[in-house]
Amino acid sequence: MEGVDEMPGRIPTGEWLQSKFRRLVEMTKVVSGECQGQYGEPEYGFWSIKKEIALMYWIWPFLQIASQHFDSYYYVDLFAGSGLMKANSDYFVGSPIVAIGSTLPDKKFKEYFCLEIDKSRWDALEKRASTAAKHFETCSPKIFNVDCNEELTRILGDFCPKGRTCYLAFIDPEGISDLKWNTLHKLLIYGKGDIILNFPTSGIIRNFGQIKSERALTDFFGDNAWKEMNPTADNMVEYYKNRIAVADGFRRTVDSLPVTDESNHRLYDLIFATGSRGMSNVMADMKTKLNKIKTKDFREIYRVIAGSQRQLTGFQEKSASEKP
């Protein structure tokens, strides 16, 4: 996406993070009454919230910049889920609801396209997304019960006309066999857009060298070069980032952020890509902020704001010492 050099105002990470969590809790309350007990996804840890916070952070400047340069802009979610996730005994909304709830009142996505292959998740998401769209006064998302690897091209062709349009895509596969490079490449070459992608680092390292996983890894990377690499997390992530950067001959800015569990084990990497100078600045600022936050901080602050505890204790003390 082409744009100008803009970025959100700088505020202390503690204050910024608390505001995002309040919004996340508000969104969760809006849809929590729909399809109670129906999720479909595996239980997540609080590290998963980092993906949702990154998406929330991205949307505001994306819409500001896109509205200056494009006639319309779309949100695309390739593995949309059920709209609600569980971490231990706590619940929080998934990416489609975050996208709906983060849309600016005066600068809105023209459409939301959510693809989900699992029927039960799709059914729950339809109800939750409809409720969220009414509450936050956005258009109702188009939710497709399809495999994105098979139907993305058709959906883009039918519903996302080329021209003065751009997209923000959120791509969150559960494992190495869910996303094929050819699918991502089709999205990257379709038109101008930004992506936030969950790179399944630990799954790739775990399956590296296993004969039964060779086909899935080749499909994921789009070639056989991964077989010749030293199988470290950094090598794999950098190779994938480089492929994204030049996928359509237009040089994108691509960066990444490792996400760990509470024992500091690297689980996955968030990869961010943009063709906008302004969003490149946003990306750098977001990475700096998110790098400061540990998983245990996510758990603590979420439970505080959701009403499970009464005070922020250690996290408030840390954030109070930060400079804008």
Q: Quick one: pLDDT at residue 314?
A: 43
> Is 6 inside a domain boundary?
no
> Is 1 inside a domain boundary?
no
Please indicate whether residue 43 or residue 292 has the higher confidence score (pLDDT).
292
Per-residue b or e along 252-277, where b marks 16 or more CB atoms closer than 10 Å to that residue's CB: bbbebbbbeeeeeeebbbbbbbbbbe
> Is 158 inside a domain boundary?
yes
Q: In this structure, what token pair is assigned to residue 130?
A: 């409809």
The sign of the dihedral angle between the CA atoms of 31, 105, 78, 272 is negative
Please indicate whether residue 11 or residue 61 has the higher confidence score (pLDDT).
61
> Is 3 inside a domain boundary?
no
> Is 7 inside a domain boundary?
no
User: Rounded to two decimals, what is the model's pTM?
Assistant: 0.89
> Is 270 inside a domain boundary?
yes
- Give the count of domains, the chain: 1
Report how far apart, in Å, the C-alpha atoms of 141 and of each of 31, 111, 125, 158, 319 are.
15, 6, 10, 15, 37
> Is 169 inside a domain boundary?
yes
d(CA 45, CA 216): 25
Give the closest residue to 173 by CA, choosing from 202, 144, 153, 193.
202
Q: Quick one: pLDDT at residue 246?
A: 87
Lowest-pLDDT range of 18-22, 112-116, 256-260:
18-22
> Which residues form the domain of 21?
13-320
> Is 5 inside a domain boundary?
no
Residue 293 banded pLDDT, cuts 50, 70, 90: confident
Reported as a single tens digit per residue, the pLDDT across 118-170 is 999 999 999 999 999 999 999 999 999 999 999 999 999 988 887 788 999 99
Residue 16 banded pLDDT, cuts 50, 70, 90: confident
Residues 6+ apart with CB under 8 A from 158: none
Note whether 75 and 62 are within 8 A (CB).
no
Reported as a single tens digit per residue, the pLDDT across 204-225 is 999 998 999 999 999 999 999 9
Q: Which amino acid is at 253?
A: T
Is the confidence at residue 316, as pLDDT, over 80? no
Q: Quick one: pLDDT at residue 43?
A: 64
Residue 10 banded pLDDT, cuts 50, 70, 90: very low
Q: What is the CATH number of the domain that holds 215?
A: 3.40.50
Q: Which amino acid is at 107?
A: K
Give the closest residue to 73 by CA, choosing from 193, 175, 197, 228.
193
Q: What are phi and psi of 216, to 5 degrees?
A: -65, -40
